[in-house]
Structure 1
Amino acid sequence: MTMQRPRPTMAHAWFFPAAALYATLLLPLSVAGLLGVLPMPPGLAQPLGHAHELLFGYALAVVAGYLLGPQPQPRCLALLGCWLAARLLFLAYPGSLLAGLAAALFAAGLTWQVLPRFLGAAKKWRNQSVAPMVGLLALLSSLPATGTGLLDGPAQARSALLLLAGLLFFMGGRIIAPALAGHAQQQGWTLQHRVQPRLEGAGLLGLAAALLLGLQPLSQPLAGLALLLTSLLVLLRWLRWQPWRYRQRADLLILLLGYAWLVIGLALYGLHLLWPLPGGNAALHALSIGALGTLSLAVMARTRLLLCWRNANARPWIHAIALLPSLAALARLLAGLPGLPPALCLALAAGLWSLAFAGLLVLLWQLRDSQRADQRQSSR
């Protein structure tokens, strides 16, 4: 009698709720500590602590949930355990050997599972670019928060943000383009410009140039120029999708909104590198809160809704919730302007962000019984 192997589970069934819960708690806890309302854990008391956990805690969990795909449940839970240990140890003992070890174990497990899939199966260099982006992001997550060598703390965070912008640009485009084309076909017209491979390749090269040039202070103006040119390429891609033709599809409009924040964020960051101004680092929040927050929330909700009901609009209230990260980004950008109370803007941004991901948690809880659907999907 042979024992039947347990069916694998989709990684996002575990990582998406973990990412949503962490996002719900992280920014309010950080801002409350910054405003003196609550004591902060040591990890968030560092100058870049909340940025570190937003990029390497929340965002990397979303990346893992989306890219790992079907996994044996013990392996999936082991990876999740490494991620959770890295988060708790960073918050309590930042810079400790145990925190670094947990982060390195999660980074190694993620790259071991993701990189061969893209390097082995993908034939075009644009598709293979996911592998180095994920690999470098995982490597950065395992470095000490203070950075080493060329990468001090701010450079480490900026590099991670640009790598995530690359993933949002590439993976977001690969999600949005077929969704728009499918809707167009249902409405009786054809979307001519879909993936737009030349623009995609040029955008990836522009982001790679900005990443490398931004490592040295003397070449940062050139990095800013590369980001401005890349933002124009992303804008052209976005306009070719004809966003004005999807007024009846809230799910598609939210994805397009997140992609628009990518245009805004790259442009503002490029301008900041060309003409540094006091408080100019607030421009980075257009990428981290606007683009990352809106697109990641929309993709997590869409992935689970399509799996369970094959209908991204089966719970239309989630699209209103998905607007909140954009409002949070606006509030955070306003905090850098003179004449406005920064504390109020920060508190408002954190509250809107937390409310958005609490709403996502409610949706994911409603979909908790879809584990069987996960298993059927992964066993095909």
Structure 2
Amino acid sequence: MINRPNAPAPDSATAVPARKPRLPFANAWFFPAAALYAAFILPCSVLALLGLLPALPGLATPAGHAHEMIFGFALAVIAGYLLGPQPLRFTLTLLGCWLLARVSFLLWPDSWLALASAAVFAAGLAWKVLPRFLGAAKKWRNQTVAPVVAALGLLSAAASSGFGASFDQRVLLEALLLLAALMFFMGGRIIAPAVAGYAQSQGRQLAARVQPNIEGAVLILLGLALVLNLLSWSLTRQLTGAALITAGVLTIIRLLRWQPWHCARPDLLILLLGYTWLALGLLLFGLSTWLPRLPLSATLHALSVGALGSLTFAVMARTRLIYRFRDPAAQPWIQAVALLISLAALARVLPTLLNLSRPGWLLLAAASWSLAFLALALLLWRCRTAHPDSTRVRPDR
């Protein structure tokens, strides 16, 4: 019998260094906050506009309602999605700045506190997000995220500065166009690989994925519309409409080349539905600049409620389901709930287009939207812990 020598105990020089604990994702905090705020702010605003509730100072006008949809809700989702893993202290500090900006705008709009808190939040978001896209991205299309986020941050501060109603409306329209560009780019980068992977699992090959030519063309058209929208000349309005209509048509072409009729998975269908709202919103926005009889509010709600609501809902649910279950379709009930957002969008767009009496439709839209995001907040709470084997899973895949 041969005695094996005892293995030497590892000393400090040969010991394997302990792995650093992974930083928590910022979306674990920002997504639930955004969902709860969406569920709260829209019905409060609608009820105040209908005279059924006392209006908070920041929600006394339709512009205040749009301000909080864009710079309150949407910016929180953007922060959660783009920040990635961050030290918990930084995430909570930035979330506190966002919350202070919301409270100060609702109670003291156009105050120095509203302006300062919005500016600090925007600066913190830009500090972390911009270098990731400006430094790492090589193609100009990938680098567009950085200026869009920076511009949204600047506009959020400008919209809290109290320059007047006409200035606020121009800022909100610019912000909505920036969000449309971000939804087009980021939505496409999520949908294309997801639909292609699903097609492959079904034994098919999807040739059209990112479609860089269409992507580049639409980003250029939306950038042109952003510049032209700042001018008040009649010719620039016509050119803005042409750019937006063309962008909407190209978005439809991109969507059709993904062959959505072959897709039977609910989580992907909700993403595709949100992208459909985006194309429809761009078309309506462009047509409203050509046709004075087409109400601008229908355009705004197709983009803000239909596209922004559906895409942010789908992305937040998808991100946290992958993080918790490693499967974006693990909770199919949430995809059915997402249809309430499209119901809310239809309740805001159709009565405006058909010139119907709107109070009942407004209440239906607010109730549908609020129920959807309350359900999402519940899901996000249940998905707050990670899957035991998800240390290498990227929640934004």
Q: TM-score, normalised by structure 2?
A: 0.91
Alignment match of 2:64 (pick from 41, 49, 55): 49
CA distance in 2, matches of 1:222, 1:147: 30
Distance 1:25 1:209, change over 3 A: same
**Aligned-pair distance for 1:369?**
2.9
Q: Deviations over 1:199-236 (max 9, x none)?
A: 00000001001111011121122111100000011011
Alignment match, 2:188: 173
> Is the 8 Å Cα contact of residues 258 and 291 (structure 1) preserved in structure 2?
yes
Counterpart of 2:228 in structure 1 is 213
What are the within-5 Å matches in structure 2 for residues 339-358 of structure 1?
A: 340-358=356-374
Render the CA deviation track for 1:74-126: whole Å, top value 9, x for unaligned. 00100000000000000000010011100000000000000000000000000
Instruction: Find the aligned partners of 2:270 and 2:70 in 1 and give their Cα distance.
Output: 21
Q: 1:289 aligns with which of 300, 305, 314?
A: 305
CA distance in 1, matches of 2:294, 2:79: 35
In our comparison, the structure showing a higher alpha carbon Rg is 2
Measured at CA, do residues 192 and 376 of structure 1 come closer, stay the same or move farther in structure 2, by a change above 3 Å?
closer
Q: How far, CA to CA, are the matches of 2:281 and 2:190 in structure 1?
A: 20
Q: Does 1:196 align with 2:208?
A: no
| 1:310 Cα offset (Å) | 1.3
Name the SS for the 2:67 alignment partner. helix
Residue 59 of structure 1 aligns with which residue? 74
Query: What pairs with 1:1-380 in structure 2 (closer than 5 Å)?
Result: 7-145=22-160, 148=163, 152-218=167-233, 219-246=236-263, 248-277=264-293, 279-338=295-354, 340-370=356-386
Q: Residue type of the partner of 2:253?
A: L
User: Paired residues, what number?
Assistant: 377
Q: Secondary structure at the match of 1:70?
A: coil
CA contact (8 A) 2:23 2:85 kept: yes
| Structure-2 separation of matches of 1:101 and 1:13 | 25
Which residue is 2:8 aligned to?
Answer: none
The one-letter code sitting in structure 1 at the alignment partner of 2:148 is M
Instruction: Give 1:373 deviation, angstroms.
Output: 7.4
CA contact (8 A) 1:206 1:230 kept: yes
**Mapped contact 1:43–1:93 kept (Cα < 8 A):** yes
Go from structure 1 to structure 2 and tell me whether the alpha carbon gap of 1:194 and 1:337 turns closer, same or farther (over 3 Å shift): closer
Question: Structure 1 residues 226 and 149 mapped into 2: Cα distance closer, same or farther (>3 Å)?
Answer: farther
Aligned residue for 2:385, secondary structure, equals helix
Q: Which has the higher contact order (CA 8 A, sep 6+)?
A: 1
Check the 8 A contact 1:162/1:211 in 2, yes or no: yes
Root-mean-square deviation (Å): 2.1
Does the CA contact (< 8 Å) of 2:288 and 2:295 recur in 1? no
**d(CA) in 2 for partners of 1:372 and 1:48?**
45
CA distance in 1, matches of 2:370, 2:329: 22
Amino acid aligned to 2:349: L
Aligned equivalents of 2:92, 2:114: Cα separation in 1: 18
Runs of 5+ unmatched residues, structure 2: 1-11
Residues 375 and 35 of structure 1, relative CA distance in 2, 3 Å threshold: farther
Q: Give a deviation string over 1:316-344, Cα, whole Å, max 9, x none.
A: 00001111111101000123145522101
Q: Distance in 1 between matches of 2:389 and 2:76?
A: 21
TM-score scaled by structure 1? 0.95
Deviates more, 1:277-286 or 1:107-116: 277-286
